[in-house]
């Protein structure tokens, strides 16, 4: 049990109500009781599963898309092959396996993994082998092209929430009501960074920002424009988000976000427009995951793998293909945004 509630109540007692962002940071990354710090949350025994854990095809196709992008940019002889929030390391392991046959790709690639959780770093080490780990993207080499992937990373970054009032915005905060964590509203204040949301919201509506996510894509965009490379950002969310998307998952079931901090995965939908606008390089259109994977040839790959399978293994392979691509499963919920240099073609599967 790692219930952070007493710790969070004490913090509110000492400092007053906290932002949703501070709540998420504590719940997910508290050094001894945070959700990601203390466990491997993935897989059937965990709280949720992700595309790379569902099928090797996901990482294989992304690996080949990154390798083609690297070739399209002249196959630079030294580059960073990086992943944000690699979980168990499965995606990077599949990327590396699928690209083994691409001449010179492995010789040129230096693997960099950005991971906050010591527990997951250990898993990544056994899955990926040789790599350099980083706490943030700020320590990635800045003198070589950067080819990067992030799957279900941006949804875990802390968000802030604001409810529109008659004149300004009330920040949604977390307070102590009779010894329980509860949502409250801060005072109405001007929020210049939300000026662009005045046209598409009315009083009472809630909008979200993700300052860490925006800062990361700002850095990535500048890096990709100046040193070359590309980023594939894959997550659930929309071009513009509206309303409360804070959610928590425990044992593969939805739970109230404030109920069990430290024991549930807490995420929010990604506002892709905000990420794209922060990046100084070019970006693709937001592409549905199902469409992206079909364009990369998942059906052909699925058929080739199916030829070697039978019985239960074949059934679960067919189900995995459907789960990744079908519009009623992950195919439409998850989306891909590619960042790439202004003078380069977009990565395969991502149209502009
Ligand atoms: N990409 C993996 C795991 C997704 S879960 C997959 O698709 O299976 C989110 C991952 O991001 C975890 O590895 C988590 O520890 C990491 N993470 C969350 N917040 C982070 C932060 N602020 N900095 C670095 N890593 C973070």
Cβ–ligand 1 contact at 59 (below 6 Å): no
Q: Regarding beta strands 270-271 and 169-177, do their DSSP bridges make them parallel or antiparallel, or are they unpaired?
A: unpaired
Distance CA 219, CA 232 (A): 14
Residue 1 reports pLDDT greater than 50: no
Which band of pLDDT confidence, cut at 50, 70 and 90, is reported for residue 154?
A: very high
Q: Which domains does the chain have, with CATH numbers?
A: 4-157+209-240+261-340 (3.40.50.12710)
Cα(151) to ligand 1 centroid in Å equals 8
Cβ–ligand 1 contact at 35 (below 6 Å): no
Partners of 289 in beta bridges: none
Cα(199) to ligand 1 centroid in Å equals 34
Cβ–ligand 1 contact at 115 (below 6 Å): yes
Those residues with Cβ within 8 angstroms of residue 245's Cβ, 6 or more apart along the chain or in another chain: 208, 237, 268, 269
- Nearest in space to 70 (alpha carbons), one of 282, 289, 228, 285: 228
Q: Cβ(232)–Cβ(347) under 8 Å?
A: yes
pLDDT at residue 241, as a whole number = 87
Cα(124) to ligand 1 centroid in Å equals 11
Residue 2 reports pLDDT greater than 70: no
Q: Percentage of residues in the chain with pLDDT exceeding 90? A: 93
Distance CA 163, CA 255 (A): 23
Q: What is the pLDDT of residues 263-292, one digit of tens each?
A: 999 999 999 999 999 999 999 999 999 999
Distance CA 58, CA 223 (A): 26
Q: Say whether 313 sits in a helix, a strand or coil.
A: helix
Q: Cβ(270)–Cβ(154) under 8 Å?
A: yes
Dihedral sign, Cα of residue 321, residue 324, residue 326, residue 329 = positive
Distance CA 311, CA 260 (A): 40
Average pLDDT over residues 164-173: 97
Query: Buried b / exposed e across 300-330, counting CB within 10 Å, b at 16+?
Result: ebbeebeeeeeeeeeeebeebbebbbeeebb
Q: What mean pLDDT is reported for the chain?
A: 96
Cβ–ligand 1 contact at 346 (below 6 Å): no
Q: What is the pLDDT of residues 207-262, one digit of tens each?
A: 999 999 999 999 999 999 999 999 999 999 999 989 999 999 998 899 999 999 99
Q: Cβ(179)–Cβ(189) under 8 Å?
A: no
Q: What are phi and psi of 317, to 5 degrees?
A: -65, -45
Distance CA 158, CA 30 (A): 13
Average pLDDT over residues 84-109: 98
Cβ–ligand 1 contact at 236 (below 6 Å): no
Kindly report the protein residue whose alpha carbon is nearest to atom 5 of ligand 1.
87
Average pLDDT over residues 283-310: 97
Kindly report the protein residue whose alpha carbon is nearest to atom 14 of ligand 1.
85
Cα(40) to ligand 1 centroid in Å equals 10
Cβ–ligand 1 contact at 42 (below 6 Å): yes
Q: What are phi and psi of 331, to 5 degrees?
A: -60, -40
Cβ–ligand 1 contact at 120 (below 6 Å): yes
Q: What is the pLDDT of residues 106-122, one digit of tens each?
A: 999 999 999 999 999 99
Mutate to test the pocket of ligand 1, among 36, 119, 148 (most ligand atoms within 8 A of CB): 36
More confident residue, 184 or 251: 184
Q: Say whether 293 sits in a helix, a strand or coil.
A: helix
Residue 328 reports pLDDT greater than 60: yes
The pTM for the full model equals 0.96
Q: What are phi and psi of 256, to 5 degrees?
A: -60, 135
């Amino acid at each position: 049990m790692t219930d952070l509630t007493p710790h969070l109540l004490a913090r509110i007692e000492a400092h007053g109500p906290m932002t949703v962002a501070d709540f998420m940071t504590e719940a997910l990354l508290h050094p001894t009781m945070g959700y990601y710090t203390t466990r491997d949350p993935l897989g059937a025994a965990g709280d949720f599963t992700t595309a790379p854990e569902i099928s090797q095809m996901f990482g294989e196709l992304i690996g080949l898309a990154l390798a083609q992008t690297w070739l399209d940019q002249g196959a630079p002889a030294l580059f960073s092959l990086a992943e944000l929030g690699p979980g168990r390391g499965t995606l990077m392991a599949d990327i590396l396996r699928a690209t083994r046959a691409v001449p010179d790709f492995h010789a040129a690639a230096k693997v960099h993994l950005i991971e906050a959780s010591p527990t997951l770093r250990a898993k990544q080490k056994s899955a990926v082998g040789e790599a350099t780990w980083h706490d943030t993207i700020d320590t990635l080499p800045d003198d070589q092209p950067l080819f990067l992937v992030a799957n279900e990373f941006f949804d875990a970054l802390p968000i802030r929430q604001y409810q529109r009032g008659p004149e300004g915005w009330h920040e949604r905060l977390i307070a102590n009501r009779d010894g329980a964590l509860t949502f409250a509203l801060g005072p109405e204040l001007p929020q210049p960074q939300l000026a662009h949301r005045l046209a598409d919201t009315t009083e009472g509506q809630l909008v979200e920002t993700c300052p860490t996510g925006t800062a990361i894509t700002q850095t990535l965009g500048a890096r990709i424009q100046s040193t070359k490379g590309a980023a594939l950002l894959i997550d659930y969310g929309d071009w513009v988000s509206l309303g409360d998307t804070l959610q928590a998952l425990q044992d593969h079931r939805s739970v109230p976000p404030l109920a069990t901090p430290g024991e549930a995965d807490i995420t929010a939908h990604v506002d892709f427009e905000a990420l794209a606008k922060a990046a100084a390089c070019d970006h693709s259109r937001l592409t549905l995951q199902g469409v992206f994977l079909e364009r990369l040839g998942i059906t052909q790959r699925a058929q080739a793998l199916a030829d070697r399978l039978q019985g239960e293994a074949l059934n679960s392979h067919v189900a995995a293909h459907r789960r990744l691509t079908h519009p009623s499963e992950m195919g439409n919920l998850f989306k891909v945004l590619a960042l790439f240099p202004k003078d380069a073609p977009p990565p395969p599967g991502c149209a502009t």
